[in-house]
Structure 1
Amino acid sequence: MIEPPPTLGVLLAGGLARRMGGGDKPMKTVGGRTILDRVVERVSPQCEALIVNANGDPLRFGFLGRPVVADDVPGFAGPLAGILAALDWTATHRPDIQWVLSVATDAPFLPRDLVARLHAARLAEGKALACAKSGDQVHPVIGLWPVALRENLRHALVVEDIRKIDRWTARHGCAEAVWPAEPFDPFFNANSPEDLAEADAVLMRHHDA
């Protein structure tokens, strides 16, 4: 596998966590550690830098010591707005970087080769974008985004009112990097207290998860 180009990671932490009873989902714990801590540990070595996309008070993520960037588009427009904010931040503050990786912050088992395999998939398929897939499930929020497409994305969000990720990515072509979903899904996401219990059970069975 080739060495991937420099990539900035954005931790998408803008959800409202309604099914979790409110609060920030990334702050919930799995195996005695916050999901956010697990995400940072896995993603940070793969990226040139990390930023957090979150709305509301940015100080609640101040302990990370990383930039916290709010959505550019008003009205909680969903993950695409967070991705656009990350692309804009990268263009302004890290013009040397042409790629952004987005990840959900409720996924405690993200692969440690995520960036490399996403880049390999887009190159192999000759596509502009790439996202993750496990088993038969596509994970459009976990993907690679070229900074060069930020104005196109802005137009889609602001002018066309597009909110669904796959509706926009289909225009440009999106490769899929596939992981097995067994013995556990590396893109398992914890959306409820029951999911947290299941994640704890995964860790009991697979200590290297």
Structure 2
Amino acid sequence: MSLQNEQTPNIEAVILAGGMARRMGGDDKGLVTLNDQPMISHAINRIAPQVNQVVINANRNQQQYSQFGYPVLSDLESGYLGPLAGMITAMKHTKADLLLVVPCDCPLLPKDLSSRMLHTLVTTNAEIVVASDGKREQPVVMLIKPSLYQSMQAFLDAGERKIDIWYSQHHYQVTDFSDQPDAFVNVNTPEQKQQLAQKIAQ
């Protein structure tokens, strides 16, 4: 997304790679190879052209993640508290108007993700926009106002972890990507990785 006029908000993307990846046998999911590229490379290739800046949220292998050429942020809070902790870290760090949140394990993210979600946010005056594949909302694919970090921090401090419960407390809207049904297919197991590799190869 190019900045063609002053009305276009500055959007930063955070790619969440901070999880434990228990179902991948503990392998760092963003660095798992898919069709000769680390998984996070697929996410970067999809998202970087759509935003003004990219940051990576990672809690291990930071040196390897830094080699992709983007700032690497570790959770401000220790203990692998899940995606919310990574989002809060990015929200506190960013100077952008809006933060686009995506996971590192969705290699087929829409190439028009940012523009369509921004359109939803602007036309509905929402605080948060969540992506949907047409069947279900994708809680870790969101466009959010960084000023909401205090609300998210309070939610996390209360012991809550479910993102959809948090955003349902705010004015949120959904952008439907059912025209791209595979956009949010993610990789949690070696079997899913194999299936996705075949899909990408086709």
TM-score normalised by structure 1 residue count: 0.87
Q: What's the counterpart of residue 138 of structure 2?
A: 139
Q: What's the counterpart of residue 155 of structure 1?
A: 154
The answer to whether the Cα contact below 8 Å between 1:44 and 1:50 also exists between their aligned partners in 2 is yes
Q: CA deviation at 1:4?
A: 4.9
Q: What root-mean-square deviation, in Å, do the aligned CA atoms of Structure 1 and Structure 2 show?
A: 1.8
TM-score normalised by structure 2 residue count: 0.90
Aligned mates of 2:189, 2:124 — CA distance in 1: 36
Runs ≥4 residues deviating over 4 A: none
Q: Out of 4-13 and 80-89, give the one that drifted further.
A: 4-13
Q: CA deviation at 1:58?
A: 1.8
Aligned mates of 2:12, 2:116 — CA distance in 1: 15
Q: Tell me the amino acid that sits aligned with residue 195 of structure 1.
A: Q
Matches within 5 A, 1:31-42: 31-42=35-46
Match of residue 171, structure 2, among 170, 173, 180:
173
Aligned mates of 1:112, 1:52 — CA distance in 2: 18
Matches within 5 A, 1:1-209: 4-90=8-94, 94=95, 97-158=96-157, 160-180=158-178, 184-205=181-202
Q: CA deviation at 1:199?
A: 0.7
For the structure 1 residues 88 and 130, does the alpha-carbon distance in structure 2 shift closer, same or farther, using more than 3 Å as the test?
same
Q: State percent identity of aligned pairs.
A: 31
Secondary structure of the residue aligned to 2:75 is coil
**What do residues 109-165 of structure 1 show as CA deviations (whole Å, max 9, x unaligned)?**
00111111111122333321001100202101011111111122222222x222110
Q: Tell me the amino acid that sits aligned with residue 121 of structure 1.
A: T
Secondary structure of the residue aligned to 2:160 is coil
Q: Which blocks of at least 5 consecutive residues in structure 2 are unaligned? A: none
